[in-house]
Amino acid sequence: MLINDKKQSNNIVKYYGVLLVGLLIFGAGWSLGSGKINLIQQNASVQTNAPNNLDYSSVEQIYDELRQNFDGKLDNAKLLDGLKTGLVAASGDPYTEYMPPEKANDFKGQLSGTFEGIGALLGKNDKGNVIVISPIDGFPAKKAGLQPRDVIAEIDGKDASTLAVDKAVEKIRGPKGTKVKLRIIRDEKEDLTFEITREEINIPSVESKVLDSGIGYIKISRFGDDTAELSRTAAEKFKNDGVSKVILDLRGNPGGYLEAAVDVSSLWLNNKTVLQEKRDGKIIKTYSSRGTAPLEGIQTTVLIDEGSASASEITAGALHDNKAATLLGVKSFGKGSVQEPQTLKNGGLLKITVARWYTPNGKNIDKEGIQPDQKVERSEDDYKAGRDPQLDAAITKLQ
């Protein structure tokens, strides 16, 4: 997910990440914080092929039949939410979604980095299956052995193939200390079962250190509201300490704030293009680097994997296209569309795909991902044994 809030004068909030719409955390959610953002509609081209108003007479007919003949109790609020959900789903875009108030409140809990669950991110693949996007380092899902793109076939013994992402999240998350059993299909051939104990998940936005090799290491697990400051602090310290080579680790990073992605890219880029937004093939906005670039000219390798999505892909693409870094690992997730949320009068939330984003070289990576310059895989055995051949390869490359 990528959100632009504080630094845009028109207060438009844009979501680029896989957390948006089809992707939620296996937990209580990350917090945007009360009052931080003002969600308004983007001034963009109207759908010229759509009527100004819909004819709801057939909908009224269905309601009348239900009201007169249904053997049960009808909930007016649920009926209205069902209409809204179906209307939005008919767009055919998995990232355009209506959320009723309760679900909207959960969604607005994003980006604080603290929740109770198993510590993984959930989405859907092209076949409509619920999949793991990123198991987060150090937490139960990763420790148990879940991997990016694992298909969730069953949750606690019940079929998950027809579940919407939010419903799967509801079933998987829960209080710390409780357990959830997941049946996983991996690579369309392995049938695996995991029983995972939920924990309180506290996700640090940025981790930085100088490795024994003298190489500076920055790991960004999400692009939160503190990421820009923490990353710049780390970069300035590297510069003051005379660090001449850096590894930026974006593996398993699902995205976050747009402005954070631009700010992180700006640590390496001086007055360069970071990304462009396009709608109907036309550029509607260009984001450029800003401020000083303490890591400009520093030899840098960026680590990416299947769990690197959206804001991570924007940063990786910006550094790569501007020849500020080389990429190492495996192909990234591939999330190249732009979503914008609209707060509704009933407290619900409507999220709409409004544009596509492009790397500085003009590439949209949606469903394709970003290919690394050097492909290095990390096997299941590597995970279990605590080996990290991708990090090892990056260190070797920079020495």
Q: Which residues are tagged catalytic?
A: 310, 321, 335
Query: Which residue intervals of 30-75 are DSSP H helices?
Result: 57-69
Give Cβ neighbours of residue 307 (< 8 Å, ≥ 6 apart): 121, 133, 134, 135, 148, 251, 252, 253, 254, 333
Nearest to 217 by CA among 39, 392, 95: 392
Nearest to 278 by CA among 355, 334, 336: 355
- Contact yes or no for 19/94 (Cβ under 8 A): no
Nearest to 287 by CA among 236, 334, 249, 338: 338
DSSP letters for 194-257: EEEE-EEEE--SEEEEE-TTS-EEEEES-B-TTHHHHHHHHHHHHHHTT--EEEEE-TT---B-
Type and span of the H or E element at 131: strand 130-135
β-pairing, 337-343 vs 349-358, is antiparallel
Distance in angstroms (rounded) separating the CA atoms of residues 265 and 256: 14
